[in-house]
Chain A
Amino acid sequence: MAQNRITRHPILDIAPGEEVAFSWNGRPLTGFAGEMIASALIANGIAVFGHHPKDHSPQGIFCANGQCAQCMVMADGLPVKSCMTPLAAGMRLESLDGLPKLPAADRVVQTADIPVIDIPVLIIGAGPAGLTAAIELGRQGVHTLLIDDKDRLGGKLVLQTHKFFGSVQDSYAGRRGFEIAALLAHEVRRHSSIEIWLDSTAVGVFADKIVGIVKDGGYRRVRPQKLLVATGAREKMLSFDGNTLPGVYGAGAFQTLVNRDRVKSASRVLIVGGGNVGLIAGYHAIQAGIAVVALIEALPQIGGYRVHADKLRRLGVPIYTGHTILAAHGKDRVASATIARLDKNWHAIAGTEKTWAVDTVLVAVGLAEVNEFIFKARQFGMHVFAAGDAREIAEASAAMFTGRIAGLKIAKALGMHAKDIPQEWIDKAQVLKSRPGRTQAAAPPAAEEGVFPVFHCTQEVPCNPCTSVCPIGAIHTEGDTITGIPYREEDKDCSGCLNCVAICPGLAITLVDYRRDPEHPTVTLPWEIRREALEVGRSIAVTDPAGTALGHFPVLRVRTKKDYPHTLLVQVRMPKELAKAAAGIRMPATAADALEIYQREAAANTAVVCRCERITAGEIRDAIRSGVRDMNQLKALTRAGMGACGSKTCRPLIWRIFQEEGVDLGSVTDRVDRPLFVEVPMGYFAGIRKGGRHA
């Protein structure tokens, strides 16, 4: 049966999984053994996983990261998080409609105490920060336990199919995220002092300086001398009408489904948020054959790198700045979504609404540190370190430095004769997290002979791999800083090797070659989308950097460089007056027409703030208006934040409502957080080792 799976991808090699049979509400289906249940269901076209016990609202995938509990289904009679539970042959899956029934498993079982495991170093999270920290500790021979809740090393690197920024020497610039994950994983496994626990979730930090970990259907208590929290980030959410419909989820969740699990979770998406995460998710969508109807950003300008935005613009995706989402519409899942322009007071302007038919709204409005472990560990006087996004939200390349630094710091704190932390690392960690700086459009080279690169990279961002791969050392950045804009020393003769074009993570370098025909130079354009449209001889639409069409020009040749096999180098013949302006290729018609189906209702109060307990913005607002200034009282009155996720999603939204209500935030008491951070069956704590279940 045809499934919603990605079978062809310009970057990823797709190996089919081992097909197994399972049932969904009695219906026989197939999926891949070991893939997450959520992905198997999505592959079979199932978006609604259950209905909420309070108001029967449809529930579906949301965080795809084991953090919320929106994706719960019944698996062989027990409720599980479908995004974290692997599919097994013969599994009996059912939608979780209302409250689950606790099975009458009344046979007396053998229980046992949970011993304490002492260890010098525990690292929570094996993403870029955790891995690089572990590598440093491995070099020092420090016995370290590295845990991660996923089934593989790499954290969110494994979702990243694009080439990374930064520099070649320090942060694998030009390599793709999943390739970097593999390199780091290989490196960490070489160190015998690093013990790795995968599928292992830290669920709490306790006052007796013990970290509780769920692993292999059991519970472990680990007491580290030093704790490194490298737990990364979680996605922030927005409240708008229809925001909990299945089909509204984070851009990171989308990348998990599409790039890790290779399921086509959407066919047409609207992206909300113009930071790098939203921009990159849009690019990933198109690579996976998913249409992006638009990307919107509330601010007057996008926050992400310009090169990422340009990549989308060239692919025909309209970017609306100064716009917000008003609503997602649909009965059981998203069928359409409406945006509107904002005035300078952040109010939607009536009459500017646009509605598109989409099946998915990707929310990419920023990340928040996963810092509950750090707060608790500090409160309890543990010797705790933080690295990566858990410490401060930044790029993965910066996380690789804060991880290395933390690793060395811990080694030194343990009395190892580790080297001093190089100032250079600290500087690099700093510079790699730089936000985009000034934009300066450089005049193209005046020459109309020979061969040379043209840089469409006009914004200061921390990235310089082009300077490293030029065999004649002709490419530099302004001021020789990593954030400088690149330029070429014109007196050095370019050989036309195409290294710079192939490595550029922003796809912002082209090569113009006049040597064969000065009137019709050959322009080489990087391309990472479908290959099939690029037959030699066929005319393709070429655009300038921002996506304005320059015309159709014939393809002369398509080649690749050995080290960058997934970046196609497309050579087209163009008139010389356009050659230096050419930056990219436009995909055939992707822009979608807006619909005229929307009647605006003033009902923002029905937007759900606490998804777990289904508490609306209106209920929160009423409580605030009645005088509530204590988040704990707000929780007591409304149940907001009492659900499975422990207010991971609603807390920032509630703060925002206080702000909207004109409350001085200094007068508001924050809520008290308590473990567990993830729900765990009692049997695990009771020490039952056999017949365990999934967390």
Chain B
Amino acid sequence: MHSYDVIIVGAGSTGVPTALACSREKLKTLVIDKRPSPGQGENKHAIGGIRATHSDPAKIIACHRSLEIFSTWKERYEEDIEWEKGGYVFPVFRRQEEKILKSFLPVQKKFGLNIDFVDARTIAKTVPGINRHGLLGGTLSPDDGSASPLLAINAFFRRARELGADFRFNTEVHTLLKSNGRVCGVKTTDGDFASGVVVDAAGASAADLTAATGCRLPVIPESHEAGITEPVQMFCPAMVVDLRPAPGSRNYYFYQNRHGQVVFCITPDPPLTGSDYRETSIFLPQVCRRMVDLVPRLQNLRVRRVWRGLYPMTSDGSPLMGWDRDVPGLLHVAGMCGQGFMLGPGLGEVVARMVTRSTTEQDRIILERFSPYRDLSCRMEALK
């Protein structure tokens, strides 16, 4: 039986950068995925936004590190993952959002985030053509940005392989192998593989994997739809997040990628729980109406394609990360709540340090906030 230091289940937004981080730590690493190539789960459905602009210190810390990895990738490896430092803008039209966003600023600044609440004129400069009726201002975090999830995961994949990580695709994990109650490997459609550490990074399928071990991970997938337009000359590289609710939806967000294409997504209300990938006719009229109301010039921009992806949700909007208390050797990195792409590289390094028992002070903040055994009855993280 092949033997590894770490087996990672899931070659997605979390699993692949985790494999890269583990390989860097000289851990003999295997990644197993039921799909045919890296990123074929939710990674390819992500629209590519990367921000440290959160209200939770753990997310701020993890994404700070992710931003560092994404933004320096090209100079380090001469490989373009289409990183753009476009920034994030949360325009505000109502006092209630102004109050909430301003209340986060002290924590955000404490953890080193470059963010400010700016006036309407500055927002209008960042979002050309924005409907200024009722615009009060908003937050601007210029160091956030975007990258191509497709290119990034393939870049991480290539680099991890160069460092010795093995990948097995089209391979399904049936169950965890245990010895004396401890994890000792996995049983797959392609044979058994031995390891004292199994990382559950199966994204939207994480609950299925752990169900086989008898533990119920409280991760419930929700469907979100996204779309992309034709390319046009650059006019708004910033990710614009409109937090206002409307009938049928909560927030929505969009930015212009490196190619000049506007990528957009909306949060349905009530949420669409389940694993339904099928596109509906509701999405485009719903999101386009809101986008054109906000930025009228978008009316002439042509939509090219739409798709649906899953947000593996937890009840409070934060990931579940930590060693399983009942199954020693099983490490959960699940429930990314739609933020796997931006959290993955940062959290992947935390996983590597957990395996090598070298976690830092900051890691401990993350592990405390993201503990699978925390009180999950808290309300949703505000900038989820």
The residues of A with any CB-CB pair to B shorter than 8 Å are 53, 78-79, 98-109, 111-114, 116, 204, 206-208, 210, 212, 219, 221, 379-380, 628-630, 632-633, 635-637, 644, 646, 669, 674-676, 679-688, 693, 695
Q: In the complex, which residues of chain B have a beta carbon less than 8 angstroms from the beta carbon of A687?
A: 285, 289
Q: Does B150 have its Cβ within 8 Å of any Cβ on chain A?
A: yes
Q: Which residues in A have their C-beta under 8 angstroms from that of B260? A: 53, 99
Encoded as 1 (CB less than 8 Å from any A CB) or 0, chain B from 115 to 135 comes to: 000000000000011010100
**Which residues of the other chain, A, contact B40 by a CB distance below 8 angstroms?**
630, 632-633
Best-buried of B133, B279, B287 by chain A (most CB within 10 Å): B279
Instruction: Evaluate contact between B292 and A688: CB separation under 8 angstroms.
Output: yes
Once the chains bind, are A685 and B289 in contact (CB under 8 Å)?
Answer: yes
With CB as the reference atom, state the residue of chain A lying closest to B236: A102
Give bound CA distance, A462 to B298, whole Å.
53
Asked whether A681 lies within 8 Å of B302 as measured between CB atoms, the reply is yes
B residues in contact (CB < 8 Å) with A? 36-40, 44, 128-129, 131, 133, 150-151, 153-154, 229-233, 235, 260, 276, 278-282, 284-285, 287-289, 291-293, 296-307
User: By the criterion CB–CB under 8 Å, are B281 and A107 in contact?
Assistant: no
**Pair A644/B230 contact, Cβ less than 8 Å:** yes
- In the A-B complex, list the 9 residue pairs whose CB atoms are closest, starting with the nearest: A683-B299, A207-B278, A636-B150, A685-B288, A633-B37, A206-B281, A630-B37, A210-B281, A679-B302
Chain A residues with CB under 8 Å of B39's CB are 633, 636
Contact A685 B303 (CB under 8 A): yes
The tally of CB-CB contacts under 8 A between chains A and B is 164
CB-CB under 8 A from B276, the residues of chain A are 207
Contact with A674, one of B133, B297, B307 (Cβ below 8 angstroms): B307
Q: Decide if B37 touches A632 in the complex (CB within 8 Å).
A: yes
Please tell me which one of the listed residues A105, A113, A669, A680 contacts residue B302 in the complex, with CB atoms under 8 A apart: A680
Across the interface, which residues of A come within 8 angstroms of B287, CB to CB? 685
**Residue pair B279, A99 in contact (C-beta under 8 Å):** no
Question: Whose C-beta in chain B lies nearest to the C-beta of A78?
Answer: B300
* Residues in chain B near residue A633, CB distance under 8 A: 36-40, 154
* A99-B233 contact in complex given A109-B292, A686-B291, C-beta closer than 8 Å: yes
B263 CB, min distance to chain A CBs, angstroms: 12
* Docked CA distance A380–B279 (Å): 9
With CB as the reference atom, state the residue of chain B lying closest to A211: B281
- Can you give 14 contacting A-B residue pairs, CB < 8 Å? A102-B297, A204-B306, A210-B281, A629-B36, A632-B36, A632-B40, A636-B39, A637-B151, A644-B230, A646-B304, A681-B301, A682-B300, A682-B301, A682-B303
Cβ contact within 8 Å between B296 and A108: yes
- Identity of the chain A residue whose Cβ is nearest the Cβ of B248 in the assembled complex: A113
- Set of chain B residues within 8 Å of A78, measured between Cβ atoms: 300
Q: Are B300 and A679 in contact (CB under 8 A)?
A: no
A679→B300 CA distance, assembly (Å): 11
Of chain B, the residue at the smallest CB distance from A687 is B289
Which of the residues B231, B299, B302 comes within 8 Å of A109, measured between beta carbons? B299
A149 CB, nearest partner CB in chain B, Å = 16
Q: A210-B281, A669-B37 are in contact. Are A646 and B289 (CB under 8 A)?
A: no
Pairwise interchain contact A682-B288, C-beta atoms closer than 8 A: yes
Interchain CB contact under 8 A, A114 and B280: no
Give every chain A residue within 8 A of B128 (Cβ-Cβ): 104
Query: Which residues of chain A have C-beta atoms less than 8 A from B131's C-beta?
Result: 108
Contact at B133–A105, with CB atoms within 8 Å?
no
Residues of B within 8 A of A102 (CB): 232-233, 235, 297-298, 300-301
- Contact B44–A208 (Cβ < 8 Å): no
CB proximity of B356 to chain A, nearest CB, Å: 30
For residue B292, which residues in chain A have a CB less than 8 angstroms away from its CB? 109, 111, 682-683, 686, 688
Which partner residue on chain A sits nearest B294 by CB separation?
A108
Q: Which of B235, B278, B302, B304 contacts A379 (CB 8 A)?
A: B278
B230 touches A206 (CB 8 A): no
Instruction: Give B228's nearest chain A residue, CB to CB.
Output: A642
**Given contacts A99-B260, A106-B297, A636-B150, could you give 12 more A-B pairs where the C-beta distance is less than 8 Å?**
A102-B232, A105-B297, A107-B296, A204-B279, A221-B285, A629-B36, A635-B150, A637-B151, A676-B303, A682-B299, A682-B300, A683-B299
Cα-based distance from A108 to B296 in the complex (angstroms): 6
> A646 to B151, alpha carbons, bound, how many Å?
19
Q: Is the CB of A679 within 8 A of B233?
A: no
Known: A101-B233, A674-B306. A221 touches B37 (CB 8 A): no
Cα(A107)–Cα(B303), bound, Å: 20
Q: How far is the CB of B93 from chain A (nearest CB, A)?
A: 13
**Nearest A residue to B235 by beta-carbon distance?**
A102
**Contact A206 B291, beta carbon cutoff 8 Å:** no
Is B300 a contact partner of A693 (Cβ separation < 8 A)? yes
Q: How far apart are the CA atoms of A630 and B154 in the complex, in Å?
A: 13
Question: In the complex the two chains form, what is the Cα distance from A549 to B184 in whole Å?
Answer: 85
Compute how far the CA of A59 lies from the CA of B295 in the bound complex, rounded to whole angstroms.
Answer: 31
Partner of A676 from B38, B299, B301, B306 at Cβ < 8 Å: B306
**Cβ of A644: which chain B residues have Cβ within 8 Å of it?**
230, 304
A629 to B298, CA, bound (A): 37
Instruction: Please tell me if the beta carbons of A628 and B233 are within 8 angstroms of each other in the complex.
Output: no
For the complex, what is the distance from the CA of A554 to the CA of B297, rounded to whole Å?
70
Count chain B CB atoms within 10 A of each CB in A630, A635, A686 and give the residue with the most.
A686
Decide if B282 touches A686 in the complex (CB within 8 Å): no
Distance, CA A131 to CA B221, complexed state (A): 45
The residue among A102, A106, A221 with the most chain B CB atoms within 10 A of its own CB is: A102
- Cα–Cα distance between A561 and B88 once the two chains are bound (Å): 75
The residues of A that contact B307 with a CB separation of less than 8 Å are: 674
Shortest B234–chain A CB gap in Å is 8
Min CB distance A502 to B, Å, is 50
A685 near B305: Cβ-Cβ < 8 Å: no
A636 B44 Cβ-Cβ under 8 A = yes
Q: How far is the CA of A635 from the CA of B154 in the complex (A)?
A: 11
Per the bound structure, the CA–CA distance linking A546 and B257 in Å amounts to: 59
Q: Hey, which chain B residues are within 8 Å of A98, CB to CB?
A: 233
Q: Nearest A residue to B150 by beta-carbon distance? A: A636
A159 to B133 CA separation, bound complex (whole angstroms)? 52
Whole-angstrom distance between the alpha carbons of A206 and B285 in the complex? Answer: 13
User: By the criterion CB–CB under 8 Å, are A79 and B279 in contact?
Assistant: no
Known contacts A100-B232, A629-B37, A633-B37; A106/B289 CB under 8 A:
no
CB distance from A609 to the nearest CB of B (A): 18
**Residues in A neighbouring B154, C-beta threshold 8 A:** 633, 636-637
Would you give the shortest CB distance from A112 to chain B, in whole angstroms?
8
Contact yes or no, B285 A628, CB < 8 A: no
A686/B305 in contact, CB under 8 A: no
* B154 CB, min distance to chain A CBs, angstroms: 6
- Give every chain B residue within 8 A of A683 (Cβ-Cβ): 288, 292, 298-300
- Structural contact, B301 and A106, CB atoms closer than 8 A: no
For the complex, give the distance between the alpha carbons of A205 and B280 in Å. Answer: 8
CA distance A630 to B37 in the complex (A): 6
Please report the C-alpha to C-alpha distance between residue A162 and residue B279 in the assembled complex, in whole angstroms: 43
In the complex, how many angstroms separate the beta carbon of A358 from the nearest chain B beta carbon? 33
Q: B304 touching A679 by the CB < 8 A rule?
A: yes
- Given that A79-B230, A106-B297 are contacting pairs, would A114 and B285 also be in contact in the complex, using a CB cutoff of 8 Å? yes
Contacts of A682 in B (CB 8 A): 229, 288, 291-292, 298-303
Q: Could you tell me if B36 and A111 are in contact, using CB atoms closer than 8 angstroms?
A: no
Q: Which among B36, B44, B300 has the highest number of chain A CB atoms within 10 Å?
A: B300
Given contacts A207-B276, A630-B37, A644-B230, contact A103 B285 (CB under 8 A): no
Task: Return B151 CB to nearest CB of chain A, in Å.
Answer: 7
- Please give, as numbers and ranges, the residues of chain A lying within 8 Å of B281 by CB-CB distance: 116, 204, 206, 208, 210, 212, 221
Name the one of A114, A379, A632 contacting B44, with C-beta atoms under 8 angstroms: A632
Complex Cα–Cα for A30 and B174 (A): 70
Inter-subunit contact A630/B306 (CB<8 Å): no
- Nearest CB of chain B from residue A687's CB, rounded to whole Å: 6
| Cβ distance B305 to chain A, nearest Cβ, rounded Å | 5
Residue of B nearest to A207 (CB): B278
Q: Is the CB of A676 within 8 A of B37?
A: no
Residues of A within 8 A of B37 (CB): 628-630, 632-633, 669
A61 to B153 CA separation, bound complex (whole angstroms): 37
A113 & B289 in contact (Cβ 8 Å cutoff): yes
A636 contacts B300, C-beta separation under 8 Å: no
Q: B169's closest neighbor in chain A, by CB?
A: A630
